[in-house]
Chain A
Amino acid sequence: MSTVPILKTISCIDDDEDILAIVDMALQLDGDLEVSTYQSALEALETLPRTVPDLILLDVMMPEMDGQQVLESLRQRPTLVATPVIFMTARVQAQEVERYHALGVAGVISKPFDPITLSGDIRRIWSEAYGRH
């Protein structure tokens, strides 16, 4: 039986500052989570290999690089190869979700999301991700 490690630090990458604000609030009120937010994928790619968060929340539709490109770039950083990534997207048709899972994301959270349940949903995906190993 694999033990689920404790989830502490989450980084959220989304070009929409309103989404970053509400994710920040929702996760901080969980009480045990530390949140860092990035409006620019490029800035995140520079910083995250050093800070190595436990989990990354990633918006799929962004102007500079889309979620898939960011994911590929993250996986090329040795320190981030195993970091679970959760996609956030407004497109949640079954085939899209399957495609994302095939890319190796730990889970998908649909937008709009309920800020009250967000940390619970993330924790559930986290537990499932480690349960699978």
Chain B
Amino acid sequence: MAATEAQSTALAVLRRNFVKHLQERSAVIQEIRHLCEVGQASAEHYKNLKREAHKLAGSGGSYGFSEIRERAQSLEGSLDATSTNTSVYLPLIDALLEACATAEAVTGAEQPVEQAPAPAVPEPQRAATGTTILVVDDDESIRSLVGSLFSEQVRVVEAPDADRAQVLLVELRPDVIILDEDMPGLKGRDLLARIKSNTTLAEVPVIMLTSNQRAADIAVFIAEGITTYCPKPFAPQTLKERIESILIRRRTTVMIIDDDIAVGELLRHKFQALGFRVVLASNGQQAVTMAKNCKADLYVLDRMMPGLDGFAVLKALRAQPGGADIPVLMLTAKRRPEDIVQGLELGANDYVVKPFAPDEVLARSMRLLRLPAFTP
């Protein structure tokens, strides 16, 4: 489910920030430890030490560092007791510092979330070379119809049922999956659920073929993760157009630049649901660096960010080779005419004011990308 994925991504980013603060707190604890050791710790120092331990138990636990929480609680409990015997505290302080150091090492090893999308981003191709379509339908005439819609440059792989599709999907990374809802054996919706719960395949757009015309049922399919649907019976041209619009989005990369994790994740989810490739940057410097290596087709850029702010990023992006032509949609917290004028002068192509309706961001983005308005 999108919310859980967004939460764990956001939590991973916050954990790294927490660990950075941990270094400062460890230094404070180290100092007090030293004073304890040489017998120069005052009542004030013990009070501060207890406070640090108390805080670390709360925040460490909330961030999922159970070892920090346990050791901080041990230290705090021991300081609550009336003993002033340093041989009691010093090992507990050491244990806590060790847990902090371990936390740093562990989060250092965690895959940084902003790098995760980068290796997966291909060069956006306007030509349809190397495209793979997987069609899953028990009806042979439908399978061969899809095959006939495209030239030899597009590889159409056929599966007569969900089981065969699953076998193929172990190795195959299609650009789009055409999925029949009504099949004997495992149903289309069940296969859809499995695709969406697979981390490598979840991103692949799915077009559902269905004879079900009820809006409520279609809404359910969309909630379950289809990108669009094609009602049966269908004109071949209709299906071809839907597939092509998704394939174009698959070759289109949107870079979202916002220090607000929740906004970034929300937009990422929205764009990916339509079939776009998405790259996220949570600060300006990162965005500028990533833009050098990954050619985005559209930037969605937050105006207000700490460090390199939206205008500075905009300038840097425009200065890059080819950067003058890439559309930029700016997100701004205030509708201030001077902000908007300045942004347009610096080269922003369009503006959306926060708090925004995600559909407005999507609609304006589609226009900037010169793509037809989306209809799921």
Contacts and interface: CB of A to CB of B under 8 A. Distances in A.
Contact of A25 (B14, B54, B69): B14
Main secondary structure of the interface of A (DSSP, over half): loop
Interface residues of B, number: 25
Given A18-B18, A25-B262, A113 B62 contact: yes
Nearest to B62: A112
Contacts of A19: 58-59, 62
A4 interface: no
Nearest to B261: A25
Contacts of A112: 57-63, 69
A25 B17 CA distance: 13
Interface-centre pick from B14, B57, B260, B265 (highest chain A CB count, 10 A) = B14
A107 B174 CA distance: 51
Contacts, number: 65
Given A18-B21, A21-B14, A29 B54 contact: no
Interface in B298-313: none
Interface in B10-46: 10-11, 14, 17-18, 21
Contacts of B62: 19, 22, 111-115
Nearest to A116: B7
B10 A25 contact: yes
A29 B59 contact: no
Interface in A33-64: 61, 63
A111 B72 CA distance: 13
B54 A90 contact: yes
B63 A18 contact: yes
B55 interface: yes
B6 interface: yes
A95 to B, nearest CB: 16
Given A22-B59, A112-B59, 17 more contacts: A18-B21, A19-B59, A22-B11, A22-B63, A25-B262, A29-B7, A61-B54, A63-B51, A90-B57, A111-B58, A111-B61, A111-B62, A112-B62, A112-B69, A113-B61, A115-B62, A116-B4
18 contacts: A16-B59, A18-B63, A19-B59, A22-B11, A22-B59, A22-B62, A22-B63, A25-B10, A29-B3, A29-B7, A29-B10, A31-B3, A61-B54, A63-B51, A112-B58, A114-B62, A115-B7, A115-B11
